Amino acid sequence: MRACIGGNELEKDILSTGILRNDRFPLTTADQAAAARISRSSQDQARTAVAALADDRSRDLKASLAAARREALAAAIPDLDRRSAALADRMKPQVDALKTDGARYPLQIDRGVAVTSPPPVPDGLRDLLPFPTALDRALLKHMFDDWPPRLFLDPPNAGEFWWGETHWNWTTDSLSVDGNATPWLFYGHLSYGGDPALPGNLGCSGLYFLTPDRFFARSSGHFEIRPRFRIQGTVSGWTGFYDWLWAADDKWSKCWQITTVTASLSSGETLASDSLTLPLFDLDDESPVGQANTSVFMGWEPILRFDADLRDLRQRGVSIILTMSIRYDFLLEGESDLWLWRDPGPVAPGPGNAIRVFPVPGSLVQV
């Protein structure tokens, strides 16, 4: 295995990238080309997200309204700017104390969205659920419906994906992502105190391959893949002193978590895809300060369903590729902060105190 990291200037932003490949299972030329397409698509999506966050038309309108209001107030209060600055200086120690406490100890944990895995289903209820029973029937069908039994014809590790590559990218070195091992790590602290707004993101994608040598011996029809994400960590946000009269400059801290799974062919066709977007917090001019600690301890197990003819794919040398991706988008403005860590507390964000992401590709099952 090997890793390489580099940075490329992309129009108005810097997107740094990293890649790790599995040298024990070398990819075919077609699979390498497909992996390169997927990597470029992931980077394009990251840039598109940053561009969307950077769209400042609504912010310009809001700023114009704030400026007009400030002008009207200044006419009624001639020393408004001096009094505003004096008030901000006087409150600074209290504001700074709140920032420290808000980062280390969840003061407003209910401001976020905590997602947890559903409890396990008792065995007695399995017959009431359509998907598990379908999988059970599929297993029996594989063993007995075809003759000779597929149990004796399928190659070793039939239907099981193997890891091929991991790609990751980031837009600021204050927030880091490390895909060199499992779990993937997301960590860091970004503090921003200026204008204009600062958009960015960081993400990681794993590519898992089902090559023709692992296809079922005789199989076509309906298939399912059940990949699984397990995530452990907390995302925290903070915004400084805001008041509509005395401190009306924008202070924002916003963050989203986007997880995506896609099954595609090395020839380029998409078989199935699913995505889950969680708005973690939206601190927008909160008075007197904004604070959020959002738990992202969660599990997500989507179901990818599609039709395929494995015999045809085998003859053409086409692989099935499962891409598992997670990305954190953020937007900061004014006096604002963002933390990515596992446990908010005395230990600063870092590799030992990071959001941990465990991707599990699952396997291909005929249903």
3 state DSSP class of 318: coil
CA neighbor of 29 nearest in space, from 256, 250, 317, 292: 317
Q: Report the distance separating Cα 237 and Cα 239, nearest Å.
A: 7
Q: Report the distance separating Cα 59 and Cα 214, nearest Å.
A: 53
pLDDT band at 118 (very low <50, low <70, confident <90, very high): very low
pLDDT number for residue 55: 77
Of 62-71, 103-112, 220-229, 243-252, the least confident: 103-112
Please determine, for residue 85, whether its predicted confidence score (pLDDT) is greater than 80: no
Q: Report the distance separating Cα 100 and Cα 345, nearest Å.
A: 10
- Per residue in 57-79, pLDDT (tens digit) is 666 666 666 666 666 666 677 77
Residue whose entry in the numeric block shows the structure tokens 């419906």: 145
Please determine, for residue 155, whether its predicted confidence score (pLDDT) is greater than 80: yes
pLDDT number for residue 211: 97
In this structure, what DSSP letter does residue 15 have? Answer: E
Of 49-63, 172-186, 227-241, the least confident: 49-63
Peptide bond into 183 cis (omega under 30): yes
Per-residue pLDDT, averaged over 280-300, amounts to: 92
Query: Taking a C-beta distance cutoff of 8 angstroms, is the pair 281, 292 a contact?
Result: yes
* Residues sharing a CB contact under 8 Å with residue 364, sequence separation 6 or more, in sequence order: 159, 160, 161, 210, 216, 223, 224, 225, 320
pLDDT band at 287 (very low <50, low <70, confident <90, very high): confident
CA neighbor of 337 nearest in space, from 291, 299, 277: 291
The first and second tokens of residue 90, run together, are 């006087």
CB atoms within 10 A of CB 118: 7
- Per residue in 14-48, pLDDT (tens digit) is 589 999 999 998 899 999 999 999 999 999 999 99
Q: Report the distance separating Cα 273 and Cα 157, nearest Å.
A: 24
Q: Report the distance separating Cα 341 and Cα 67, nearest Å.
A: 37
Q: Which percentage of the chain shows pLDDT scores above 70?
A: 72
pLDDT number for residue 124: 46
Residue whose entry in the numeric block shows the structure tokens 């959002």: 294
Q: Report the distance separating Cα 243 and Cα 241, nearest Å.
A: 7
Please determine, for residue 116, whether its predicted confidence score (pLDDT) is greater than 70: no
CA neighbor of 231 nearest in space, from 298, 325, 302: 298
